[in-house]
Amino acid sequence: MKGLIAGVLIVGGLLLQAPARAADTQAADSNLAKYSVGTKHSGYVLASPATRAMEDDEFQNPGMLWVETGKKLWSTADGANGKSCHSCHGDAAKSMKGIATAYPKFNPRLGKVIDMEQRINACRAKAMQAKPYPWESRELLALTAYIKNQSHGMPMNVLVTGAAVPSFEKGKALFMAPHGPKGLSCASCHGTLEASAKLAATQDQGQTNGFPAYRLTWQTLGSAQRQIQDCERHISVAPHPLGSPADIDLEFYLAWRGNGLPVETPAVRK
């Protein structure tokens, strides 16, 4: 099967980048400045002009399919209490605006730092009396993408205070420490905020401001937790389970590294 739909090339059922129109490429290139803050540079900056154009156009961005599904789920009642997200939070465009900029964050009731996916499932368990969505399920990715999309363009503002500090320090240590038989760390590929990566200067800095993101290599939307697992495999380390305490700590640190960068969800990456 081969076809071209809204600037997306479909070949053999796979989604590929179609050649970007000149106007799209120029518009995407003109946006680059807002994706850098001091020494911080979003992965958007390193993406090809065609990929940037795809992300910027809601009709071309494949991640928007999940956002639309999330919009429907927001108002869909579920669980023993017969409630939906809308039942408690109302219009997401108002109630969720800016919320994603602070996640992951410390949750006093749960006594730990949690990410947005875990917050959604905590609401489902307590308020809706509904079963949690499995990690990487279309439903959980869709709701997460929809909620984060309400903060699109707003700067990340993850706070590291009080009871959240131990989780942050663990995540930072995990990022810096060598792992596996190759002795590689996250910093080996993604660098620090002060210095480029030792092995791959063309790699992004590992921020999570675009997740859930549509990766062309995945051919689907995926969470920051899935990306962390992919990186663990790349350095020959057995991946932690999705949502493990260690990887939530790491996601917390990575999100903080992106403070000041705009929320891009759903970002498009190679």
Chain segment 122-166, per-residue pLDDT in tens:
999 999 999 999 999 999 999 999 999 999 999 999 999 999 999
- Residue 256 burial (CB count, 10 A): 20
Sheet holding 213-215, edge to edge: 220-222, 213-215, 267-269
* Residue type at 190 in one-letter notation: H
Taking the C-alpha atoms of residue 235 and residue 189, their distance in angstroms, rounded to an integer, is: 10
| Burial annotation 205-244 (CB, 10 A radius, 16+ → b, else e) | bbbbbbbbbbbbeeebbbbbbbbbbebbeebeeeebebbe
pLDDT beneath 70: ranges in the chain: 1-30, 193-202
Give me the domains of the chain, ranges plus CATH numbers.
Answer: 65-149 (1.10.760.10)
Q: What digits encode the pLDDT tens for the residues 45-62? A: 999 999 999 999 999 999
Q: What is the pTM of this model?
A: 0.87
List of residues 6+ apart from 236 with CB closer than 8 A: 180, 181, 182
Catalytic residue among 88, 186, 189, 231: 231
To the query of whether residue 186 is one of the catalytic residues in this protein, the response is no
| 7, 16 Cβ separation under 8 angstroms | no
pLDDT for 202 equals: 56
- The pair of three-digit structure tokens given for residue 104, joined into one six-digit string: 């992951």
Residue 43 makes CB contacts below 8 A (sequence gap 6+) with 204, 205, 207, 210, 267, 269
User: Residue ranges of the alpha helices (H) in 137-266?
Assistant: 138-149, 165-176, 186-190, 224-234, 245-257
Measure the CA–CA gap between 37 and 156, rounded to whole angstroms: 11
Contact 237, 180 (CB under 8 A): yes
What is the structure's pLDDT at 191? 81
